């Protein structure tokens, strides 16, 4: 160290550590830390790295299952999809940086999540995302949409991994904090999965990838605090992405992974070299000694503090099998990547850093990882809302209502977004956002099987009732996977909330997790990886609770799958499930009636399972031509989306004894699917359903080019399509 800086209470506070946390450090070390050590403790104990507010609650999740190879705790979750194939996936947030610098924030979010996946030996085969922006009229929204979409595309397109789907919502609750959640799905062989543990003593530690610069220092700490009006000044803590280097890293790692040279490997994500070294050592039960002079550096005069806290992108740390060093050098040199042996594993249990001939850090690793704070934050449950009565909402002009809904910000076509993503590269995309379907379908290269992937959450519901909303987000992903004929296997989650130090926010968090976990258990649909993003607040205004869920399922044979397109002339429209007209917390109520009230639709998990299993069976038996689940916007939006995707009109018949008209068309009752089936299949499908206690009824017919109903709906499909397609491009160009 150039000079010893005395650690004052102000310095401790600047590092985001509480007095109590600092006291623990003093106790564990038996002395005051130096600046480097304090910096290392501060990032390792930040909310972002330590999950100190969420850990005890995450522990309740179902994380095991017959197909789970690796649950939470590694870089990503691993599931078994038979024949020696594994799928490795995770979703992660990059919210704070994306608000400050949308292009780079989103781009590096994509880069980071890809590294989490290929670190484990998987070739990334698909990218997804879940995006939330403020209301369209907010002055920042357009710029943020433009930058985030360009950033996601710019990174994924260059690396050459298809971005196959996602979701985008607009709500004033995100005016001050947008959400950028990126998910990556990769494929590996089950016997070639790599873990992060640094095993053995005296084994060489390799650094590979981009040089370390001064970017992103304390990014993890930024992601663990609220924003205020001066947040734009945090721009220097946003990292810059280099997808070219990422592509080289993927190919080089894949090449080296094909050998037996790697003992353990970890990407340098949040908290950079610090967290990767500490996590590898902790998992392997060893110590680590690094010579910081050997770290490839982008700038002169970098201090140990800067090197350890830098979040420069596209960097990996690995422990190499002794004797295989040259093999590693050869591969990384072939790909023209910076590579250096920067240290070795030790038996001291300490993290020791040497710099310019001096020891600049010597701290035990165990407290960094294991003794991280673990808080039981006070939480107050969200008060329950009364159900909203659909009778109080008059709906007379169904045509007008459909046009307003189909052209509304949360339902209108996302073409403007997904046309900026390469959805086809790698040549295995069977279905993507292009169809507007429920789940993307990506073939496992060289086989007839495929993974189905979806991301979903309905923050309106989570805000109104975290518990029901928590159940719903898991149920909806399960339903989406079912809609394409996949067996849902497991989920990853990205839990975006406000400040956990506020009991009502913590109450949302606890409530959502309880609901999610119940759904996971009901479906035998475990959580295998995830990420928590707290402090999504600006000036005390928190985002709506947004536990984004990424679901993955398996289509065992691509001869049997479905999408929402495919309805044929004369096909019957069959509704599976019960329509009670639940309009509370619906899009219709919010965007057409301008009322944000009412309890969200309850989720009957047993019914979800029964209905979904039946629909999946019908798809496997090739009894249906198209399938779509009822979600945002209800029945009429579901059937209209099927009509647009299949380029065919329909005629709907609302039963005379139905619920109120607004609820029938736009209510958001759960556990419902719309099927397009051959007229000859109608009776057997309905009678088999009824035999199993499943509600099923024909509610209309796909035919012609008009969208019509017995309540006066009468629109030409082209009119509906142009309204559906118009909103987003017009908004972006306005």
Residues classed as catalytic: 48, 94
Select 440 or 671, whichever has its Cβ closest to other proteins.
440
DSSP per residue, 228-239: -TTGGGGGGGS-
Select 421 or 525, whichever has its Cβ closest to other proteins.
421
Strands 179-189 and 123-133: antiparallel
Select 151 or 173, whichever has its Cβ closest to other proteins.
151
Q: Minimal distance in Å, beta carbon 242 to other proteins?
A: 8
Select 235 or 424, whichever has its Cβ closest to other proteins.
424
- Pick the binder of other proteins from 22, 421, 588, 650 (CB under 8 A): 421
Q: Which helix (H) or strand (E) holds 282?
A: helix 272-284
Cβ burial, residue 520 (10 Å; 0-12/13-18/19+): buried
Q: Is 29 in the site for other proteins (CB under 8 A)?
A: no
Question: How many residues appear in the chain?
Answer: 734
Q: What Cα–Cα distance (Å) separates residue 680 from each residue in 313, 367, 559, 673, 674? A: 58, 67, 22, 19, 17
Could you give the CA distance from residue 644 to residue 646 in angstroms, rounded to a whole number?
Answer: 5
Select 99 or 418, whichever has its Cβ closest to other proteins.
418
Q: Which stretch binds other proteins (CB under 8 A): 7-15, 107-115, 418-426, 543-551?
A: 418-426
Q: Is 247 in the site for other proteins (CB under 8 A)?
A: yes
SS3 (DSSP) at 364: strand
- Pick the binder of other proteins from 82, 232, 233, 419 (CB under 8 A): 419
SS3 (DSSP) at 66: coil
Q: Is 726 in the site for other proteins (CB under 8 A)?
A: no
Could you give the CA distance from residue 304 to residue 383 in angstroms, rounded to a whole number?
Answer: 49
Strands 546-555 and 626-629: unpaired
Q: Minimal distance in Å, beta carbon 428 to other proteins?
A: 6
Contacts to other proteins from residues 520-579, by CB under 8 A: 558
**Residues forming a β-bridge with 339:** 208
* Residue position matching structure tokens 């894949």: 254
* Residue position matching structure tokens 């592509």: 247
Query: What is the C-alpha end-to-end distance of the chain, expressed in Å?
Result: 55
- Pick the binder of other proteins from 270, 430, 474, 564 (CB under 8 A): 430
Q: Is 420 in the site for other proteins (CB under 8 A)?
A: yes
Q: Is 425 in the site for other proteins (CB under 8 A)?
A: yes
Size of the site for other proteins (CB under 8 A): 32
Cβ neighbours of residue 547 closer than 8 Å, sequence gap 6 or more:
457, 462, 469, 470, 473, 493, 494, 495, 496, 497, 512, 513, 516
Q: Is 153 in the site for other proteins (CB under 8 A)?
A: yes
* Residue position matching structure tokens 């009636």: 593
Select 43 or 339, whichever has its Cβ closest to other proteins.
339
Q: Minimal distance in Å, beta carbon 253 to other proteins?
A: 14
Q: Which stretch binds other proteins (CB under 8 A): 152-160, 362-370, 456-464, 620-628?
A: 152-160
Q: Minimal distance in Å, beta carbon 366 to other proteins?
A: 41
- Pick the binder of other proteins from 46, 70, 169, 429 (CB under 8 A): 429
- Pick the binder of other proteins from 107, 248, 516, 520 (CB under 8 A): 248
Q: Which stretch binds other proteins (CB under 8 A): 157-165, 323-331, 565-573, 659-667?
A: 157-165
- Pick the binder of other proteins from 150, 240, 254, 403 (CB under 8 A): 150
Q: Which stretch binds other proteins (CB under 8 A): 194-202, 241-249, 610-618, 663-671?
A: 241-249
Q: Which stretch binds other proteins (CB under 8 A): 155-163, 507-515, 614-622, 645-653?
A: 155-163
Q: Is 244 in the site for other proteins (CB under 8 A)?
A: yes
- Pick the binder of other proteins from 154, 213, 437, 470 (CB under 8 A): 154
* Residue position matching structure tokens 């798809």: 619
Strands 338-346 and 626-629: unpaired
Three-class HEC string of 653-720: CCCCCCCCHHHHHHCCCCCCEEEEECHHHHHHHHHHHHHCCCCEEEEEEECCCEEEECCCCEEEHHHH
Applying CB under 8 A, the residues found at the interface with other proteins are 150, 153-154, 157-160, 242-245, 247-248, 251, 335-336, 418-430, 434, 443, 558
């Amino acid at each position: 160290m150039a000079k010893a800086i005395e650690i004052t209470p102000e310095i401790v506070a600047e590092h985001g550590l509480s007095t109590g946390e600092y006291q623990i450090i003093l106790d564990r070390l038996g002395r005051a830390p130096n600046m480097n050590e304090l910096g290392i403790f501060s990032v390792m104990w930040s909310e972002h790295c330590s999950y100190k507010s969420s850990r005890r609650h995450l522990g309740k999740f179902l994380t095991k299952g017959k197909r789970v190879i690796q649950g939470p705790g590694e870089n990503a979750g691993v599931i078994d999809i038979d024949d020696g194939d594994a799928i490795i996936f995770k979703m992660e947030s990059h919210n704070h940086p994306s608000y400050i610098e949308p292009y780079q924030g989103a781009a590096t979010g994509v880069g980071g999540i890809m590294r989490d996946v290929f670190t484990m030996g998987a070739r990334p085969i698909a990218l997804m995302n879940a995006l939330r922006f403020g209301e369209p009229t907010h002055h920042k929204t357009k710029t943020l949409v433009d930058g985030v979409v360009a950033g996601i595309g710019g990174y994924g397109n260059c690396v050459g991994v298809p971005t196959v789907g996602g979701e985008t919502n607009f709500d004033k609750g995100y005016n001050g904090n947008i959400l950028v959640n990126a998910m990556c799905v990769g494929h590996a062989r089950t016997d070639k999965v790599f873990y992060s543990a640094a095993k053995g003593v005296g084994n060489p530690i390799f650094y590979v990838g981009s040089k370390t610069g001064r970017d992103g220092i304390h990014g993890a700490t930024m992601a663990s605090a609220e924003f205020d009006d001066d947040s734009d000044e945090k721009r220097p803590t946003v990292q810059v992405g280099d997808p070219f280097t990422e592509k080289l890293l993927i190919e080089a790692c894949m090449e080296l992974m094909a050998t037996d040279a790697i003992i353990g490997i970890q990407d340098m994500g949040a908290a950079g070299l610090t967290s990767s070294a500490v996590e590898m050592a902790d998992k392997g039960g060893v110590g680590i000694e690094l010579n910081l002079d050997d770290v490839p550096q982008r700038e002169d005069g970098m201090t140990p503090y800067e090197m350890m806290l830098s979040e420069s992108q596209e960097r990996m740390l690995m422990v190499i099998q002794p004797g295989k060093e040259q093999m590693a050098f050869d591969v990384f040199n072939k790909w023209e990547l910076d590579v250096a042996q920067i240290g070795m594993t030790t038996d001291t249990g300490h993290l020791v850093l040497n710099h310019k001939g001096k020891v600049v850090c010597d701290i035990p690793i165990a407290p960094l990882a294991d003794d991280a704070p673990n808080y039981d934050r006070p939480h107050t449950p969200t008060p329950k809302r009364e159900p909203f009565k659909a009778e109080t909402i008059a709906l007379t002009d169904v045509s007008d209502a459909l046009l307003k809904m189909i052209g509304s910000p949360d339902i209108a076509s996302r073409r403007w977004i997904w046309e900026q993503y390469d959805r086809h590269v790698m040549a295995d995309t069977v279905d993507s956002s292009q169809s507007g379907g429920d789940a993307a379908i990506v073939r496992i290269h060289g086989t007839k099987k495929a993974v189905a992937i979806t991301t979903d959450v309905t923050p309106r519901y989570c805000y109104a009732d975290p518990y029901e909303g928590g159940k719903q987000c898991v149920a909806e992903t399960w339903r989406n996977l079912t809609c394409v004929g996949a067996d849902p296997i497991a989920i990853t989650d990205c839990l975006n909330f406000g400040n956990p130090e506020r009991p009502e926010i913590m109450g949302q968090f606890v409530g959502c997790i309880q609901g999610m976990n119940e759904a996971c258990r009901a479906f035998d649909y475990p959580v295998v990886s995830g990420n928590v993003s707290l402090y999504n607040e600006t000036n005390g205004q928190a985002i709506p609770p947004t536990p984004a869920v990424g679901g993955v399922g398996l289509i065992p044979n691509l001869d049997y799958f479905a999408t929402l397109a495919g309805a044929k002339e004369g096909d019957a429209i069959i509704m599976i499930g019960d329509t009670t007209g639940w309009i509370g917390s619906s899009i219709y109520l919010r965007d057409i009636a301008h009322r944000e009230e009412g309890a969200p639709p309850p989720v009957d998990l047993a019914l979800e399972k029964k209905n979904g299993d039946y629909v999946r069976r019908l798809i496997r038996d090739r009894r249906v031509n198209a399938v779509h689940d009822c979600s945002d916007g209800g029945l009429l939006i579901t059937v209209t989306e099927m009509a647009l995707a299949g380029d065919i009109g329909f005629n709907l018949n609302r039963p005379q004894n139905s619920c109120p008209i607004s609820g029938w068309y736009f209510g958001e009752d759960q556990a419902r699917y719309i099927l397009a089936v051959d007229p000859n299949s109608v009776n057997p499908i309905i009678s088999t359903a009824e035999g199993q206690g499943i509600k099923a009824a024909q509610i209309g017919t796909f035919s012609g080019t008009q969208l019509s109903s017995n309540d006066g709906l009468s629109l030409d499909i082209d009119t509906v399509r142009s309204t559906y397609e118009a909103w987003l491009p017009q908004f972006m160009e306005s």
